[in-house]
Amino acid sequence: MNYSTLKKGLAVSFVAVMGVTTLASAQTDSTSTSSSAKVFGGRGQYRTWSIGVNAGVLSPFVAIGGSNDFKNADVNLGYGVSLKKQLGHAFGLEGNIFRGKVSGSNKDMPGGQQGGITNFETQIGYAADIRGVVNVATVDFLRRENSVNFFVTVGYGLVAYAPKVTTVGGAVTDWKDKAGDSHDKKYVKEAYIPVGAGVKFKVSDRVAFNLGYTMHFIDGDNFDGVYAKGTTKDKFSYGYAGLEFSLGSKAKPNLDWVNPLAMMYDELKDPSLRQEVEALKTRVSNVEKSVEDLKKDSDGDGVSDQFDKCPGTPAGTAVDGSGCPLPVAAAPTVVNASNATGFETIQFEFNSSVLKTESYPTLDKLSSVLKESNGKALVKGYASSEGTAAYNLKLSKDRANSVKTYLVNSGVSASKVATKGLGEANPIASNDTEEGRIQNRRVETSRN
């Protein structure tokens, strides 16, 4: 018996049973703790939608500088709303709509004017954009929970605006008047790129307070009503404060504030998981002990005690699969040339048709008899019962042909030797014992 195979088989069976048990347990735990967020559990276990309101100041200048058509900036009110979908711990998509007024003047320029223009005022009918929001402090190695988070944004939008410009003489050019009566035609529409940054403070599990600053780069040079050759495209900024409200089930945490490192640590240190691991170790130890018991062989005969029907076999004794001593086969009879008749039985090894050297005297005598007379011989091959009947029949034919080949090579005419394979037929001893099977592996020769 191959005990290595037995051990592997038991181990595989044990793992399979444990796998089913663990899976069932995991499914039960998942159902009972569906309200608890897990690592790799998907967005469905969090609140990911939020709505915000904000208000702040609009300016024709931006923090990174650049050229402007006016020297001085006025501070004006802006206000807006936002809707955000958090796609992961660090990234979300946010839609924004805001309105307000942007204005500036040339009061610090000589004569309070530049190019004959003293000031402008641009009414933003609406500005709408979609932005990618990247949280830069979600993964925190120092704290389990964040209460402050920094973010950066960039996106693409469309702004509808109507500038009003005042000249030195007090004349006012209002783009609304120039655009016509239709409300839609009163505004110039341009694309813009919003780029911003900010900080978010956690007020409660539902509410956050945001401070942010966004620069808007417009794809045009008429936002302030002045087209100045050689200047860059217009821009404006929005510094704001606002509140953001998380939407969804109260039982779920807000994805904005979840630290994935803390979640992973909690799962690794989960007491129930550790108990499962310890239980698994115990079961594996029990299986290994059972396998070692199966391998125990007190008398050292190669058959474990569990299957040994003859315990206490002396060392060195050849045994069968049940641990009992094998019968001692009788020594083969050696035929001398002086007393051989040529018709003695010729024996073969297991699963072999090769002639043994001890059969040569018999075959040499048979060769002499056939060459000195007109007689013929019938060579009949046999086999023991191991293997299939078809295979044993072929083996018996091969054994008979081995004898004929020897005789023909020694000078006997092939016509004087006939062969026949009889397979397992006509055993001269029991095939239930090794000693009997040895006797049945033979060739018998008779006069034909």
Domains of the chain, CATH where assigned: 46-269 (2.40.160.20), 357-447 (3.30.1330.60)
Distances in Å between the alpha carbon of 421 and those of 380, 392, 402? Answer: 6, 9, 12
pLDDT band, very low/low/confident/very high, at 262 (cuts 50, 70, 90): confident
pLDDT band, very low/low/confident/very high, at 328 (cuts 50, 70, 90): low
Pairing of β 377-381 and β 442-447 = antiparallel
Q: Kindly report the three-state secondary structure assignment for every residue of 141-156.
A: CCCCCCCEEEEEEEEE
User: What percentage of the chain carries pLDDT values higher than 90?
Assistant: 53
Q: Which residue has the higher pLDDT, 267 or 363?
A: 363
Residue 333 CB partners (closer than 8 Å, separation 6+): none
Q: Could you report the per-residue pLDDT of 360-414, keeping only the tens digit for each?
A: 999 999 999 999 888 899 999 999 998 899 999 999 999 999 999 999 999 999 9
Specify the pTM: 0.53
Mean pLDDT of the chain: 84
Is the Cα dihedral 10, 16, 20, 23 positive or negative? positive
* Cβ atoms 194, 236 nearer than 8 A: no
Q: Which stretch of 16-25, 204-213, 280-289, 438-447 has the lowest confidence by average pLDDT?
A: 16-25
pLDDT at 8: 44
Residue 425 CB partners (closer than 8 Å, separation 6+): 382
Residue 299 CB partners (closer than 8 Å, separation 6+): 308, 311, 312, 313, 315, 323
Tell me which range, 267-276, 288-297, 413-422, is most confidently predicted by mean pLDDT: 413-422
The whole-angstrom separation of Cα 214 and Cα 193 is: 10
